[in-house]
Amino acid sequence: GENVEQHPSTLSVQEGDSAVIKCTYSDSASNYFPWYKQELGKGPQLIIDIRSNVGEKKDQRIAVTLNKTAKHFSLHITETQPEDSAVYFCAASFMDSNYQLIWGAGTKLIIKP
């Protein structure tokens, strides 16, 4: 079955620096790749997503890149701020599978002041 691996498990960066989180997936048929942010005591919240017909997508300080050949995708956060501290999850799915997502294990992002 589909498997999603996410690295690193913890990432600590200085405020204002960039953060990069990487995920790999196993099933080449996956075609939808969302990223979720989860703050303590809250449910995950979608921050950006990408479909397999697109190589890169950007939304202000957040960008996602997708390499279909290598089956990996990455989240890039620039000019990090304290409020970016959270756990970030990548996921993968088939758009035809009722969006049944397979999740990575998460990355705890710590922004140091």
Per-residue binding string, another protein, 68-97, x by CB under 8 A, is: ---------------------x-x------
- Using CA atoms, how far apart are residues 65 and 26, in angstroms rounded to an integer? 17
Q: How far apart are the first and last CA of the chain?
A: 41
| Binding residues for another protein restricted to 36-65, rule: CB under 8 A | 41-46, 49
Task: Select 10 or 18, whichever has its Cβ closest to another protein.
Answer: 10
Under the binding rule (CB under 8 A), the answer on residue 12 touching another protein is no
Stretch that binds another protein, among 14-22, 61-69, 74-82, 98-106 (CB under 8 A): 98-106
What's the closest the beta carbon of residue 49 comes to another protein, in angstroms? 7
Beta carbon of residue 55, minimum distance to another protein (angstroms, whole number): 19
Q: What are the residues whose beta carbons fall under 8 Å from the beta carbon of 76, sequence distance 6 or more? A: 18, 19, 20, 62, 63, 64, 65
Give CA separation, 111 vs 51, 52, 61, 90, 103, in Å.
29, 30, 15, 19, 23
